[in-house]
Amino acid sequence: MTLAVASNPHTSTSHSMVAFEGVTKQFGGRDGQSTFTALDGVDLTVPKGAITGIIGRSGAGKSTLIRLVNGLELPSTGKVLVDDVDVAGLSDAGLRTLRRSIGMIFQHFNLLASRTVYDNIALPLEIAGLDRAAIKARVAPLMDLVGLGDKAGRYPAELSGGQKQRVGIARALATEPKLLLSDEATSALDPETTQSILDLLKTINRDLDLTVLLITHEMEVVKAIASHVAVIDKGRIVENGRTFDVFTQPQHATTQAMLAGLTGSKLPIWITSRLHDSQQGAERVYVRLIFFGATSEQPLVSGLINELGVEVNILAGTIDEIAGEPYGALVVSYPATADILARAEQFFARTGLKTEVLGYGA
């Protein structure tokens, strides 16, 4: 059997799989009068066929956001559209149909201990009323896809955490969804297992053309696989866009704080302790050079040294990849004389090298 993604021929011109339009979600207080606003005026689009990450601290509103997508919660105001369908406007039957088109994987796997790997994956198909032959035709290739073809008769207690999550992923794919929701799906896994699960999600996204919306507080997860990202803070989307753009040029303080150290933005204390904001009387300027796109493959550091004709000290640096694109950052220092500062600015403007003055010091 060939695995396929469910599609809707009437919405093929749409470029978004999920759209939040002015969404607010409030919960009533214990006294029946006071309310808590979990989401506050959210506008967000999840592109079709992409992996989009929603990142935020605990309590920011991430889980509420994802529960609105499959109708487990309904918005207090605004609309949640899934493939152009207003979730809140669906009947009970329509909601059941929608949920079959949305797969869900969880942090703690949610497997049934009394059922084998095969039977856990088959469960949503049994609920949907498929016969045994149809279920087998669907489950067998899914077990191969997630690397569990030899584990059909095993029980969850016999599996590792990574294997349990693979069962959860296969079960989520059983109904041939067009959208996969991941709620902190790697938070309970060790780093090596996390990477294997992320690789699997990338494969599923690519081979099945499946839209993935993942909720996480782990910046490394988003950096590794998400093409798009939205940052949520206190119920508001404070920043969103291409992962590479947001991670390399974060604008909001929440994003900057969460990214500290991930993309070379956090400086060693021995550097920060000697920095101040005033150029007056300073011997050296401390600058972060950021390399990506065309500048990532050019010998710009040696070019800077030749341009300035002075010693340029390299103090810290990182080379990385963000959403499949190369990225590098170096912290350098050089003399803070007016002539050298002017020549450096001309060099940066001419080469397109992005820079950030971190401060001045001895």
CATH of the domain at 295: 3.30.70.260
Residue 52: exposure state from Cβ atoms within 10 A (0-12, 13-18, ≥19): buried
pLDDT in single tens digits along all 362 residues of the chain: 333 333 333 333 348 899 999 999 998 766 666 788 999 999 999 999 999 999 998 889 998 999 999 999 999 999 999 999 999 999 999 999 999 899 999 888 899 999 999 999 999 999 989 999 999 999 999 999 999 999 999 999 999 999 999 999 999 999 999 999 999 888 888 889 999 999 999 999 999 999 999 999 888 899 999 999 999 999 999 999 999 999 888 899 999 888 876 665 667 787 788 888 888 888 999 998 888 776 667 788 889 999 999 989 988 888 888 888 888 888 899 999 999 999 999 999 998 888 889 999 88
Last residue of a domain, one of 210, 238, 259: 259
Q: Are residues 160 and 292 in the same domain?
A: no
Q: Does residue 264 lie in a domain region?
A: no
Q: How many helices (DSSP H) and strands (DSSP E) are in the chain?
A: 12, 14
- pLDDT score, position 29: 64
Q: Does residue 150 lie in a domain region?
A: yes
Which of 16, 11, 10, 8 lies closest to 211 in space, CA to CA? 16
Contact between 313 and 334 under an 8 Å Cβ cutoff? The reply is yes
Domain that holds residue 318: 269-361
- pLDDT score, position 13: 35
Residue 65 structure tokens:
């956001």
End-to-end CA distance of the chain: 69
CB-side neighbour CA atoms (13 Å) of 265: 14
Indicate the pTM of the whole model: 0.81
> What residues have CB less than 8 Å from 75, skipping those under 6 apart?
23, 24, 25, 39, 68, 88
Residue 26: enclosing H or E segment and its boundaries? strand 16-28
Instruction: Kindly provide the residue ranges of all beta strands, DSSP E only, lying in 138-203, ordered along the sequence.
Output: 179-183
- pLDDT score, position 4: 35
Q: Are residues 121 and 223 in the same domain?
A: yes
Q: Are residues 222 and 346 in the same domain?
A: no
- pLDDT score, position 215: 93
Q: Does residue 104 lie in a domain region?
A: yes
Last residue of a domain, one of 239, 259, 279: 259
Q: Does residue 4 lie in a domain region?
A: no
Q: Are residues 68 and 162 in the same domain?
A: yes
Q: Are residues 253 and 309 in the same domain?
A: no
- pLDDT score, position 281: 83
Q: Are residues 280 and 335 in the same domain?
A: yes
Q: Are residues 241 and 275 in the same domain?
A: no
Q: Are residues 276 and 224 in the same domain?
A: no
Q: Are residues 298 and 224 in the same domain?
A: no
Q: Are residues 353 and 247 in the same domain?
A: no
Last residue of a domain, one of 259, 277, 307: 259
The tally of domains found in the chain comes to 2
Mode of pairing for the β-strands spanning 85-86 and 77-82: antiparallel
CATH code assigned at 45? 3.40.50.300
- pLDDT score, position 86: 95
Q: What is the DSSP letter of 138?
A: H
The whole-angstrom separation of Cα 100 and Cα 158 is 29
Q: Are residues 233 and 354 in the same domain?
A: no
Q: Does residue 327 lie in a domain region?
A: yes
The whole-angstrom separation of Cα 19 and Cα 216 is 19
- pLDDT score, position 119: 96
